[in-house]
């Protein structure tokens, strides 16, 4: 299958910056693959905003650029940008809801703040509005019904929680903390120690709580498996990779500064689960 220039750009960006999602995309039906990669590339563009700007106000400007870009896509006047071109095609082909895409942009406003979420429920809401929303859009491309869409949202949310738990050290280096305030208080975690990359038993316990919530969402998602057609289950394979990361964190006792370095995920386990219609 020959890819357009914009489709190839999206594939290369997702492979480079989000290798886990890239691997899951390879196992999707060929007819949906480019559109899903366009969604993943769009999500990367907005998700990386805080990392690539020097101050929050510039992040706000970048997010506004993407809001205006979505407006152009739906007015059939897309900007000249490879991700925008691929996304415009995906939106038209799948009749994707503009509001859902704008919600992905709006959710990244939280990244411009340096204050942690108030509690675990607020962190979960952030995960649902970012990765959960993205997984929902992917399932819509795959033609999923309400059950499949709800399941995708749960897996995407769990993926976000696992990712945030794994990224404590990365965020601390830029003076950000995503561990909820209530967990910091409950386990007497000093913010300064987190920002200084100093491990504590309380921090490990807080990370464990976040991961346990992710595991609940994954179990709920797997409980719906029999009600989801086999082709659409391939859109839920992030759950398999979430298990891999959770096992790695558990091995380190949930110390976010001691997680063993994982080799890039290989396709064997994913392919096996895809072949068995599992996730």
Query: What are the b/e assignments for 23-47, b being 16+ CB within 10 Å?
Result: bbbbbbeeebbbbbbbbbbbbbbbb
Please state, in angstroms and rounded to a whole number, the distance separating the CA atoms of residues 235 and 25. Answer: 8
Best CA proximity match to 140, nearest among 159, 153, 126: 153
pTM over 0.75: yes
φ/ψ of residue 13, rounded to 5: -65, -45
What are the residue ranges of helices labelled H in the chain? 5-17, 19-26, 30-47, 49-52, 56-74, 82-94, 98-107, 120-127, 133-141, 146-166, 168-172, 181-186, 191-195, 201-222, 230-233, 238-251, 267-275
CATH fold for domain 114-258: Farnesyl Diphosphate Synthase (1.10.600)
Distance CA 243, CA 43 (A): 22
For the chain, which residues make up each domain, given as ranges? 1-113, 114-258
CA nearest neighbour of 161 among 203, 216, 111: 216
Count of C-beta atoms within a 10 Å radius of residue 257: 15
pLDDT in tens, the chain (279 residues): 688 999 999 999 999 999 999 999 999 999 999 999 999 999 999 999 999 998 999 999 999 999 999 999 999 999 999 999 999 999 999 999 999 999 999 999 999 998 999 999 999 999 999 999 999 999 999 999 999 999 999 999 999 999 999 999 999 998 999 999 999 999 999 999 999 999 999 999 999 999 999 999 999 999 999 999 999 999 999 999 999 999 999 999 999 999 988 876 667 889 999 999 999
Are 90 and 97 spatial neighbours (Cβ–Cβ below 8 Å)? no
């Amino acid at each position: 299958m020959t890819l357009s220039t914009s489709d190839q750009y999206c594939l290369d960006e997702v492979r480079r910056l989000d290798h886990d999602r890239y691997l899951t995309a390879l196992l999707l039906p060929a007819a949906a693959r480019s559109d899903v990669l366009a969604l993943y590339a769009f999500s990367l563009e907005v998700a990386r905003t805080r990392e690539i700007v020097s101050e929050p106000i510039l992040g706000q400007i970048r997010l506004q650029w993407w809001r205006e870009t979505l407006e152009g896509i739906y007015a059939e006047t897309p900007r000249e940008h490879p991700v925008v071109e691929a996304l415009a095609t995906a939106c038209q082909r799948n009749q994707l809801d503009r509001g859902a895409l704008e919600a992905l942009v709006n959710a990244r406003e939280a990244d411009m703040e340096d204050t942690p979420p108030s509690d675990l429920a607020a962190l979960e809401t952030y995960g649902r509005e970012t990765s959960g929303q993205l997984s929902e859009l992917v399932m819509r491309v795959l033609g999923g019904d309400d059950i499949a869409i709800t399941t995708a949202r749960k897996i995407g949310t769990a993926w976000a929680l696992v990712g945030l738990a794994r990224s404590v050290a990365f965020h601390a280096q830029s003076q950000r903390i995503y561990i909820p305030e209530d967990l910091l208080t409950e386990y007497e975690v000093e913010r300064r120690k987190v920002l200084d990359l100093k491990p504590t038993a309380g921090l490990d316990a807080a990370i464990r709580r976040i991961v346990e919530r992710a595991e609940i969402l994954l179990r709920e998602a797997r409980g719906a498996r029999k009600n989801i057609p086999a082709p659409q289950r391939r859109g839920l394979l992030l759950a398999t990779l979430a298990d891999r990361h959770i096992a790695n964190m558990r091995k380190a006792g949930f110390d976010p500064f001691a997680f063993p370095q994982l080799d890039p995920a290989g396709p064997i386990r994913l392919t096996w689960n895809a072949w068995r219609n599992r996730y």
